[in-house]
């Protein structure tokens, strides 16, 4: 087993670290407070090649591997997970899906500007009554011959306003249940699409989240991804890859919290000595470090499996469930170590704790990951 990173992987990690620590940090508190979309940073991340990291340069991407993506996601998320989720959705849910399952025409027209970061994308699966229970899609896509007619509502859509291109799942053959679902590429400015209000979220506040309504939206037939009825499998396969991104995000949030808690414990004095000299605090830091290392190994293993074209369903579910739950524990401890200072915005750890919470919910809750993992444990 080789635990060394290549020179290229280390350079990508360093580039992400430098950008996050020098640039992203500067306005992160203000963006969080005012829920301002990080437009300038997304442009800069695109210039670094981070918006289509794993896509072939032929289609506008950077041709990097998934291990590099994990390293970059960790560094960006240490400082600002609201920015890293925009990057993650574009990379894993949108670009990966088009790269793996789109045809050449679709890749030329849609993947190329998405992977280069010229535009960004969104993934529209969740609905008001179909979140975890994703097979029960109520949005319909009626086959009208040379086009599909879409009607319905999608919920909790990250990048809904900032994206130009949507990947949308909708039901074409209700009698076939999930085997009747299709996936479509839809341009956001298509007539009949409207957005609900900006969701005022607890964390990840500068990423834009809205519901999206479709009212008699005409979608050309050539915008369907894959064969008729492939949409649910498409969504599942894209999500299982996407979970590596969110697992790495949770890892980054936790390692950012550990870095801040460690620095604070070395500086702040109580009872005549630095907090770090109190075993109650030092042992907390040790526990946090072990959990973070476990999560990092799960993320890297899932990434390595994906890079080597091996099954990732269980590995990505394990990485996401463990990293997300771990991030919640570690950020809570980081706030505790900071005491009262941890509860105010200036010290960042309360924001990291709010960000960690969402990693347990989106792209499949921790409970959904446990369904996937337990089915594998229990199978014959």
Could you list the active site residues?
363
Among 133, 313, 89, 111, smallest CA distance to 225 is for 111
Does the protein bind ligand CAA through residue 239 (CB under 6 A)?
yes
Does the protein bind ligand CAA through residue 362 (CB under 6 A)?
yes
At closest approach, how far in Å is the CB of 285 from ligand CAA? 31
Strand partners, 168: 124, 184
Does the protein bind ligand CAA through residue 126 (CB under 6 A)?
yes
At closest approach, how far in Å is the CB of 32 from ligand CAA? 18
Does the protein bind ligand CAA through residue 374 (CB under 6 A)?
no
Q: Output the DSSP codes for 288-334.
A: HHHHHHHHHHHHHHHHHHHHTT---HHHHHHHHHHHHHHHHHHHHHH
Distance CA 82, CA 94 (A): 17
At closest approach, how far in Å is the CB of 272 from ligand CAA? 47
At closest approach, how far in Å is the CB of 113 from ligand CAA? 20
Q: Which two tokens stand for residue 309?
A: 């074209």
Among 158, 172, 211, 262, binds ligand CAA (CB under 6 A): 158
At closest approach, how far in Å is the CB of 185 from ligand CAA? 16
Among 157, 167, 186, 261, binds ligand CAA (CB under 6 A): 157
Output 223 or 321, the one with its CB closest to ligand CAA. Answer: 321
Does the protein bind ligand CAA through residue 77 (CB under 6 A)?
no
Does the protein bind ligand CAA through residue 101 (CB under 6 A)?
no
Q: Output the DSSP codes for 90-120.
A: IIIIIIHHHHHH--HHHIIIIIHHHHTTSS-
Label residue 92 left, alpha or beta by phi (over 0 means left) and psi (-120 to 50 means alpha): alpha
Contacts of 113 (CB under 8 A, 6+ apart): 60, 119, 164, 165
Q: Hey, is 258 helix, strand or coil?
A: helix
Interaction residues for ligand CAA, span 180-219 (CB under 6 A): none
Does the protein bind ligand CAA through residue 96 (CB under 6 A)?
no
Among 134, 257, 265, 299, binds ligand CAA (CB under 6 A): 134
- Cβ-closest position to ligand CAA: 364
Among 125, 335, 353, 373, binds ligand CAA (CB under 6 A): 125
Q: Are 139 and 181 in contact (CB under 8 A)?
A: no
Region from 16-24, 130-138, 213-221, 348-356 binding ligand CAA, contact rule CB under 6 A: 130-138
Q: How far is CA 77 from CA 18, 122, 254, in A?
A: 13, 19, 9
Does the protein bind ligand CAA through residue 240 (CB under 6 A)?
yes
Contacts of 70 (CB under 8 A, 6+ apart): 244, 248, 251, 299, 300, 303
Q: Are 207 and 82 in contact (CB under 8 A)?
A: yes
Output 112 or 159, the one with its CB closest to ligand CAA. Answer: 159
Distance CA 173, CA 140 (A): 9
Q: Hey, is 171 helix, strand or coil?
A: strand
Among 123, 148, 322, 347, binds ligand CAA (CB under 6 A): 123
Does the protein bind ligand CAA through residue 372 (CB under 6 A)?
yes
Does the protein bind ligand CAA through residue 179 (CB under 6 A)?
yes
Does the protein bind ligand CAA through residue 135 (CB under 6 A)?
yes
Judged by CB under 6 A, the number of residues near ligand CAA is 24
Region from 8-16, 70-78, 228-236, 338-346 binding ligand CAA, contact rule CB under 6 A: 228-236
Q: Which residues bind ligand CAA (CB under 6 A)?
A: 89, 123, 125-126, 132, 134-135, 157-158, 178-179, 232-233, 236-237, 239-240, 313, 362-364, 368, 371-372
């Amino acid at each position: 087993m080789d635990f060394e990173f290549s020179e290229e992987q280390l350079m990508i990690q360093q580039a992400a670290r430098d950008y996050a620590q020098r640039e992203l940090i500067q306005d992160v508190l203000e963006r969080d407070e005012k829920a301002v979309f990080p437009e300038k940073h997304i442009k800069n991340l695109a210039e670094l090649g981070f918006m289509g990291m794993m896509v072939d340069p032929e289609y506008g991407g950077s041709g990097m591997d998934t291990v590099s993506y994990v390293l970059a996601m960790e560094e960006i998320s240490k400082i600002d997970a609201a920015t890293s989720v925009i990057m993650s959705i574009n990379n894993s849910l949108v670009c990966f899906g088009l790269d793996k399952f789109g045809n050449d025409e679709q890749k030329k027209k849609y993947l190329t500007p998405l992977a280069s970061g010229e535009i960004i994308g969104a993934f529209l699966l969740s609905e008001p009554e179909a979140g975890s229970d994703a097979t029960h899609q109520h949005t319909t896509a009626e086959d009208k011959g040379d086009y599909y007619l879409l009607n319905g509502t999608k919920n909790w859509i990250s990048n809904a306003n900032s994206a130009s291109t949507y990947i949308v799942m909708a039901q074409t053959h209700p009698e076939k249940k999930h085997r009747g679902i299709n996936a479509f590429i839809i341009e956001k400015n298509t007539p009949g699409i409207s957005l609900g209000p900006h969701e005022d979220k607890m964390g990840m506040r500068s990423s834009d989240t809205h519901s999206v309504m479709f009212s008699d939206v005409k979608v050309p037939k050539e915008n369907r991804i894959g064969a008729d009825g492939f949409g649910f499998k498409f969504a599942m396969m894209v999500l299982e890859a996407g979970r590596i991104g969110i697992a790495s995000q949770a890892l980054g949030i936790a390692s950012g919290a550990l870095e801040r808690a460690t620095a604070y414990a070395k500086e702040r004095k109580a009872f005549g000595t630095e907090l770090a000299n109190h075993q109650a605090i030092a042992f907390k830091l040790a526990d946090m470090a072990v959990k973070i290392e476990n999560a990092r190994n799960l993320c890297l293993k899932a990434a390595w499996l994906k890079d080597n074209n091996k099954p990732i369903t269980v590995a990505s579910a394990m990485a996401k469930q463990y990293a997300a739950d771990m991030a919640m524990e570690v950020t809570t401890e980081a706030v505790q170590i900071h005491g009262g200072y941890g509860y105010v915005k200036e010290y960042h750890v309360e924001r990291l704790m709010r960000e960690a919470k969402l990693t347990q919910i989106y792209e499949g809750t921790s409970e959904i990951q446990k369904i996937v993992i337990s089915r594998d444990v229990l199978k014959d």
